[in-house]
Structures are given as structure tokens and as C-alpha cells.
A and B are shown apart, each in its own frame.
Chain A
Amino acid sequence: MTTRGAEGALASVVASDPADGEWVRLLSTPGPGHVEALQRLHELLLRAARQQVSRMQPALSAIGRVRQDDIVNQAADEAMVSLLGKLSTFEGRSRFSTWAYKFGILQAAVEVNRNLWRHRDIPLDAVVEPLSTGASPEQYAEATDFSRAVGMAIEQALTDHQRRVALALLVDDVPIDVLAERLGTSRNALYKTLHDARTRLRAHLTATGFLPAALTPELTR
């Protein structure tokens, strides 16, 4: 189906979507309306995947249109499986369509980044060399001091794992799901590592006078 055709079909489907409370019953119970509900859900997920791929478009110039369509379809299919496995967790706190979209968006983002980084190495051996830029000599000096202090805090306050993860995510801009896949872990676990690293850096910078004490959360470990 072409993109325009799919959007047209979706518009007519959305108009006749089940009520939020009906979705779960129709999707989980074979019988009248079950197949149609599955089809409508897949169209919602295609829409979500297409929106996310479109949002990531500037990074996608190296990937052709056909491959992008493949990514959208693959993401919608995988999101469908994931969503149906979690159908019982829909609590009606939002519209069903909003709840469903997030599965398609997540899967599309993961697929796009996986494609973009498929043939790229992720070196985890970096050390920090501070560099600063500022508009005025005063700002330049301040930025230099703070950047240098952060660089020293990275070397002194973080574990090797925290340093590698923080630099890969925030300096080398490696997508978190790509890094998680390479390291055999999860987005959740990497974000926790990053959060702990930030906490340690802030505590170290507070102790050395580069951050005000009142703004620093307590160390969690």
C-alpha cells in the first residue's frame, strides 16, 4: 500500500474506531470485530512508525525510501506483537490510540538507529580533553574552567563503566538502544548508569566548588 493510500485508509478507520474500553475486548477475544480490530490497530501502529521515521528524517539521508518503508512496516509488525503481549496493562489512563502509538514509535526509533549504526564501530576507550568556546573572554574563561573541572571529575569520580557509558551517550552521541544492544544490556540499565554518573559528577563538582551545594542531590550510593 502506498503511503497516501495507507493514510486515506487510516482516516476512514479512525472515524469508526472502537471506544477506548472496547479495544481490549475486541483485540483479546476471537469473534465479531476481532479481525477488524487487529487490522485497525496495525494501521495505528503504521501511522506511529511513519511519524517517528519522518521525525528522524535528517539522519536518514543515507537510507533509501524503499528501506525506510521496510523499517516502518517491520516496526509496526514488531510493535503489534509487543502491544498485544501487554494488552492487559492498558488501564484507560489515556486514549487507546495514544497508548498504542507509543509502541510503534519506540519500535521505529530502535529500527532506524539499528540501521544507521549497523556498520559503525563504537569505541569505548575515550578520555576527555577539555575544550571550551565562549562569546566573551570572561565566558571563555568560565567555560574553560567548568569543562576542565568536568573532565577531571569524569576521570576521578566515575567507574570505568560509568565513564564509557556517559561519554558514548553524551559526547559521541551513540543512540542508547544501539549501545544497549552492543553491550548486551537494556535502555533502562544504561539510563540508570548515566543517572548515577551524573549524580557522582555533580557531587564531585560541588565538593570542588564548581557547583552550588543546594542544587546537588544526595549520592545514592
Chain B
Amino acid sequence: MTNRRLRLTPEMADKLTLDAEPWLSCDDCFHLVDQYVESLLSGKDDSPAMRAHLRGCSACHDEAASLLVLAAADLGTDPAEALQRLTR
């Protein structure tokens, strides 16, 4: 059987070699994400491990973005600036 050949674009190469240090697991991210999005909404970003994890895990990042939007609505805050910090 012949293996399927994938075309590796520069964007894929960047994702494959992304530096996601310091290490944080998805379970730890889930444990901390509520506190983290609220700190982003208050203008703080004091967790390098969360930032690295959300850069490296698209599933956790996508869910954190949803959570941030809901938390902002409850706080009556515009989520735009915090969303930018989340995705940079």
C-alpha cells in the first residue's frame, strides 16, 4: 500500500515547530482557564504557561475565546482587547 503524501506549507511548518514552552497540560489549562480569561478582561496577562498552551493547542484556544466572550458579557465589558491578547 502506498502512503498518502501530504504537502507541507510554510504555515504548517511553523505550526509543527511552534515553541509552546513552558509546558502546561490541557487538563491544567481547563482547570485555570476561567481565572485566566477574567484576568485578561481586567487587563492582566500574568501566566506564560497559559499563554504558551493556548498558542499551541487550537482546541483549548477556541474554547477559551468562547469563555472570554461570555465572561465579558456578564461583566458588561467589551471583549475585543482581551481577545486580541488571547490570540497574539
Residues of A that sit less than 8 Å from B by CB: 14, 47-48, 51-52, 55-56, 89, 93-95, 97-99, 101-102, 105-106, 109, 123, 125-134, 143, 146-147, 150-151, 154, 166-167, 170-172, 175-177, 187-188, 191-192, 194-195, 197-198, 201-202, 205, 211, 215-217
Contact = CB atoms under 8 A, between A and B. Distances in A.
Interface in B1-53: 1, 3-10, 12-13, 15-21, 23, 25-27, 30-31, 33-35, 37-38
A113 to B, nearest CB: 9
Contacts of A97: 70-71, 74
Given A56-B62, A131-B8, 17 more contacts: A48-B67, A55-B65, A94-B35, A94-B38, A94-B71, A95-B74, A97-B71, A98-B37, A105-B70, A125-B3, A127-B6, A154-B16, A172-B6, A188-B27, A198-B19, A201-B17, A217-B19
Given A109-B62, A150-B13, A47 B70 contact: yes
Consensus secondary structure, chain B interface: helix
A151 B61 CA distance: 26
Nearest to B72: A98
Interface of B: 1, 3-10, 12-13, 15-21, 23, 25-27, 30-31, 33-35, 37-38, 56-59, 62-63, 65-67, 69-71, 74
B1 A109 contact: no
Which 3 pairs, one residue from A and one from B, show the smallest C-beta to C-beta distance?
A94-B34, A131-B7, A150-B13
A137 B41 CA distance: 43
A52 B63 contact: yes
Given A102-B30, A106-B30, A188-B27, A95 B10 contact: no
A171 B66 contact: no
A126 B7 CA distance: 10
19 contacts: A47-B70, A52-B66, A98-B38, A101-B70, A102-B34, A102-B63, A126-B4, A131-B7, A150-B13, A167-B6, A170-B15, A171-B12, A172-B6, A176-B57, A176-B58, A188-B26, A198-B18, A198-B20, A202-B17
B5 A126 contact: yes
A150 B26 CA distance: 25
A129 B58 CA distance: 24
Contacts of A132: 9-10
B17 A131 contact: no
A215 B57 CA distance: 20
B10 A98 contact: no
A122 to B, nearest CB: 11
A6 B83 CA distance: 26
A170 B12 CA distance: 7
B5 A101 contact: no
Contact of A102 (B10, B15, B21, B67): B67
A106 B63 CA distance: 7
Contacts of B6: 126-129, 167, 171-172
